[in-house]
Amino acid sequence: MKKTLLVAAFGLLGFAVSAQSGSGFGLKAGLSYNKNGDLVGSIGDAAQSIVDGGEGKTGYHVGFWGKLDFPKIYLRPELVYTRTKSSYDVNGTSSDYDVSKLDLPVLLGYKIIGPLHIFGGPAFQYTLSNDLDNLNVSDVENDFTVGLNVGAGVNLGRLGLDVRYERGFSENEAVFIGDNITDISGRVDTRPSQIIFSLSVDLARKNN
């Protein structure tokens, strides 16, 4: 599945940068404020339930983008490595849940006026790794999932700034088993909910 995602990503990027002279391609990076879904588990033999919505923390992303430009709309596929982090209260101790994934957003944008534009579209996501501090986390239920990106941005010459909201569509959980002070087992919802801030640079555009 990861190989299929990469082939599709580079195919879309290649199409975007070669289709016409108004197209572009470049690099992007940024920060996000993100959280995953609920953590539900049990402690020891008492089977006491833990339900914790988690606390959002700062994550980051780096990647590539391509753009197929039309008079009022554009198509922009991206291939992005993303690292997210959420904090959960596990047995009275704060534990960080780290997720690394490959994202392939395919965005359709509309140019409002001047440099201002809005966009939205699906984001295909492949989970690379996930870790809940010193707890043993097994593979997530579905490595490959789909989310939604919506946002707005502004282009300033070769530079672009945008802010977007991302939300996972379907439930997707990872199972964990721990052996620290008290035996803890359960599951955590891996769906991301993020506010993402990005800076991009257009490598195809010449300086004026």
pLDDT band at residue 183 using 50, 70 and 90 as cut-offs: low
Which tens digit of pLDDT belongs to each residue from 185-204? Answer: 778 888 778 999 999 999 98
Q: Measured between alpha carbons, how far is 119 from 105 in angstroms, rounded to an integer?
A: 11
Report which of residues 65 and 45 the model is more confident about.
Answer: 65
Helix (H) or strand (E) holding 194: strand 193-202
| Closest C-alpha among 79, 64, 57, 162 to residue 120 | 162
Domains of the chain from N-terminus onward: 2-202 (2.40.160.20)
Query: What confidence score (pLDDT) does residue 184 get?
Result: 66
pLDDT band at residue 82 using 50, 70 and 90 as cut-offs: very high
In what side-by-side order are the strands of the sheet with 184-189? 48-52, 39-43, 184-189, 173-178, 136-140
Which ranges of 21-153 would DSSP assign to H, the alpha helix? none
Contact of 198 with 33, CB cutoff 8 Å = no
Mean pLDDT for 15-26 is 60
Tokens standing for 101?
A: 């994934």
Query: pLDDT at residue 31 above 80?
Result: yes
Q: Measured between alpha carbons, how far is 29 from 57 in angstroms, rounded to an integer?
A: 17
Tokens standing for 78?
A: 């991206």
Provide the Cα torsion 117, 123, 129, 130; round to 10°: 80
Phi-psi region of 44 (alpha: psi -120 to 50; beta: other; left: phi over 0): left
Query: pLDDT at residue 44 above 70?
Result: no
Report which of residues 25 and 40 the model is more confident about.
Answer: 25
pLDDT band at residue 208 using 50, 70 and 90 as cut-offs: low
Query: pLDDT at residue 20 above 50?
Result: no
Tell me the CB-side half-sphere exposure of residue 56, using CA atoms within 13 A: 14
3 state SS of 89 = strand
Query: pLDDT at residue 76 above 70?
Result: yes
pLDDT band at residue 29 using 50, 70 and 90 as cut-offs: very high
Which tens digit of pLDDT belongs to each residue from 154-179? Answer: 999 999 999 999 998 877 888 877 65
**C-alpha distance across the termini of the chain, in Å:** 42
Work out the percent of the chain whose per-residue pLDDT is above 90. Answer: 43
Query: What confidence score (pLDDT) does residue 11 get?
Result: 56
Tokens standing for 138?
A: 């097994």
What are the percentages of helix, strand and coil residues in the chain, rounded to 5? 10, 70, 20
Query: pLDDT at residue 81 above 90?
Result: yes
